[in-house]
Amino acid sequence: MGINFRNRDIITIDDFSRQELEYLIQKAQEMKKLEKSGQRYQLNKTLEGKKLASLFYENSTRTRTSFETAMHELGGTTFGFAGPEGTSLMKKENILATVMMYWANHADAAVMRHSKDGSVQWAADVLGIPVINGGDGKNEHPTQALLDLVTIDELVPGIDGLNIGFGGDLAHGRTIRSNALALSKFNNITIHWAAADELAMPEDLIDTLKKERGVKVKRYDSVEDVFRNSNIYYMTRPQKERIKGLNEAQINDILEKYKIDMHKILSNPNIKILHPMPVDSSTAEIDITVFFSGNQYFIAQAENGVFLRKALLYEILNETDHILFNSSIDEKVAAANDKDYITKSDDPNKKSDINEKPYVGKIDYGVVIDHLEDGITAEIEAKLQFSKRGYRVTSVLHEPSTKTGKLKDFLKIKDKLLTPREIKEIAMISPNATFNIIKDRDVVEKFKYNLCKNENCITRVVNEDVPPKFDKIGKDLRCHYCRKPYEKLCQIIQNLKNS
C-alpha cells in the first residue's frame, strides 16, 4: 500500500486515511494470528534496545498495560509513571520539562495520558521522538478507536454499512469522539444513540459527522430502540471525574434508564456489546449478568488492544535509528502560526489615544487594560495580587461604553509590563480585555488575547505556559492542541483578510 508509520506521532484519529486504518486493522489481525497459533514471541527481537516512555498522568489499566505488554513482546522495554506519586509532578513540574526529561533518558517513543485536552499534542510538538496519545482529557483516544475498529471488523467484516449504537456518557467520553471520527472514514455508517440530555453526544461532533462526513446520526428515546436498529452496541461508563455540577448519586439516577441488562437485550438477542472498560461497578452501566452472556464481546475487545498496540509500535519503531536527544527547544514551538490568530490589532497607521484620555492619565511606561467588564477589576486584583507584588496599579471607572452607555473599567499599570502568564490570567477573567502597551508615552502595541474557548484545553492551564495557537482545518479555524473550532476567531481573521 506504500504506507509508512515510522517515527510517526499518533495524536488524533482524524489524521488517518481509510487506507491507513485498514492497514493497521490487517497488521493487528496478523499479530492476533501469531498469538493464537502459539507464536507470541516470534517478533521478540524486533524492538530490542528500544525504550517506550509510559507517561500516565491519569489512572489506566488496559491502555497502559497493553502498551507495556506489546513493547515487551516485541523485545523492547518500558519506563515511566502511572500517576504523579513518586515523581516531580508532585513538585509542580510542567509537561514540557517532564517529557523532555524522558527523552533525555533516551526514550525512543512516548505514550501519554493526561486530563487536559490537547496536552499530548503539546508534548508531541516539544519532543523529537514519536508520541502516542493514550487519552487526552475528554478529547480523543485514537488507539482505543483503532482497537475498536479491529473488533468491529471481526463482527462486521469490512465495516462499510455498519449500524452501531452508542450509549452511556457520550458527552464526556473521549472514546466516543475518536470512534465516531474513525467510523466516518468508512461508507454508509449509521450511528444510533440514546442518552440523557446531560450525557448527550456533543453538537459539534454531530455536525461534523452529518454535515461534513455523510454519517447518519439518529437519536432515540430508549436503548431498546437503538438495539433494534444496530449490529453492535458500544456502551461507555459515566465520566464522573469530568461531569460538573452533578454528584455521583445524581449521575447514577440519570443513567438508570440507559443501563444494559438482559431484559433490554431481548429487543435484539443478536446484539454484541462493546465497552472500552472499565465498567463502573458502583453505577453498573452493564449488569453483571451480561458479562456471562453470549452478547458480551468487550473482554475480547480488551485483548485486541494488545494486538493493535503491538502492530502500531512495530510499524512506528521497527528498523528505525535512535533519535538523538536535542536539549534545545525550538522557539517556533511556542509561537503562534500567525500573530493575528492571537492578537486583534488596530490599524498600525492609527495611533491609539488611550494614554491621552483624561480619566486614564498619562503614563510613560506600562500597560493600560481597557474593555474590561464593569466591576471586574476587583476580581483581577484578587487573582493576580498586583498591589502585594509591587505593581503600581490604578483602577479607573470613568468612561461610558459607546455601545451600552454604562461605565467601563480600566486598569492602569505603571512602570511594569505584564508577563505572558499575567496576560493570560486577565484574559481568562475578562475575555474582551484589550491590552495597550505603552513606552515613552506612546501606545506601541494594542492587542486582544484570544483564548481557546474549550475550558479544558491545555492552553488554559496558566502554569503550563502553552500559548494559544490555531490552525486552518477544512473550513474551520481550530485550536492547534484540542482541535475545537473557534468561530469568533474565524470571523476576526476573515475580516482582517477582507480589510
Active centre residues (catalytic): 62-63, 92, 113, 141
What would the 3-class secondary structure string for the chain be?
CCCCCCCCCECCHHHCCHHHHHHHHHHHHHHHHHHHCCCCCCCCCCCCCCEEEEEECCCCCHHHHHHHHHHHHCCCEEEEEECCCCCHHHHCCCHHHHHHHHHHCCCCEEEEEECCECHHHHHHHHCCCCEEEEEECCCECHHHHHHHHHHHHHHCCCCCCCEEEEECCCCCCHHHHHHHHHHCCCCCCEEEEECCHHHCCCHHHHHHHHHHCCCEEEECCCHHHHHHCCCEEEECCCCCCCCCCCCHHHHHHHHHHHCECHHHHCCCCCCEEECCCCCCCCCCCECHHHHCCCCECHHHHHHHHHHHHHHHHHHHHCCCCCCCCCCCCCHHHHCCCCHHHHCCCCCCCCCCCHHHCCCCCCCCEEEEEEEECCCCHHHHHHHHCCHHHCCEEEEEEEEECCCCCCEEEEEEEECCCCCHHHHHHHHHHCCCCEEEEEECCEEEEEEECCCCCCCCEHHHCHHHCCCCCEEEECCEEEECCCCCECHHHHHHHHHHHHC
Cell 469490512 locates to: 158
Cell 465495516 locates to: 159
